[in-house]
Amino acid sequence: MSKIVLIDYGMGNLNSVKKKLDRLKTDSLITRDEKEILEADKLIIVGVGHFAKAMKNIEDLNLIDVLNEVVLIKKKPILGICLGMQLMATHSEEGDYSGLNWIEAEVKRIQVNDPIKFKVPHTGWNEIIQKKQSSLMNDIPNNAEFYFVHAYYFEPKNPDYVLNETDYAFNFTSAVEKENIFGVQYHPEKSHDVGEVLLNNFISI
């Protein structure tokens, strides 16, 4: 059975993701220990909060080198959820701070012309548009609904990495895939059955 490590950098709803993984009978662990991270078969990086604070926590905990080794050198699968996906970008407008730069991308504030119709943060259920085939999307229909909570969005430089898009005042990237690196802007752990299917797909990769 795959061992999945959830990276504990002091931010994020780790326990709710862990409970979902437990329900799927998966061996998972919340940790920031370098040895445990290196021994993982797969990683999940979850996040809720401010981009710059999250990156500073990762830096202060000396996690960047071990994460780069596991993800970029050992090529182990990693799933970023919400802020966890955004941290994979080159840079964010939120705090004007550099990210992990695993995917060349900019994280930008959601701008809307009609703030009455389109509230920011974007909160609630919304459809995904699948842009390409992926093992992460197995048995998930196009236009499936997932749960979102975010005020910033991920804009990759290379459109080939776009896995899903979502329409909220404009079409934004709601999931990405680059080799072993996966990211979703939505919260599979809050998305009921379809979220469980996605997490199970990641476990099976």
Q: Give the model confidence (pLDDT) of 63-101 as tens digits.
A: 999 999 999 999 999 999 999 999 999 999 999 999 999
pLDDT score, position 1: 63
Residue 16 CA, chain-centre distance (Å), reads 14
Catalytically annotated residue among 94, 122, 150, 189: 189
Task: Note if 50 is an active site residue.
Answer: no
Using the 8-state DSSP alphabet, how is residue 128 labeled? -
CATH number of the structural domain 3-204: 3.40.50.880
**What confidence category does residue 12 fall into, taking pLDDT thresholds of 50, 70 and 90?**
confident
Minimal CA–CA distance to 196: which of 149, 140, 132, 122? Answer: 140
From the list 34, 69, 82, 165, the catalytic residue is 82
Contact 186, 174 (CB under 8 A): yes
The SS3 assignment for 174 reads strand
Mean pLDDT of the chain: 96
Using CA atoms, how far residue 169 sits from 117, 131, 147, in Å, is: 9, 19, 16
For the chain, the structural domain boundaries read 3-204
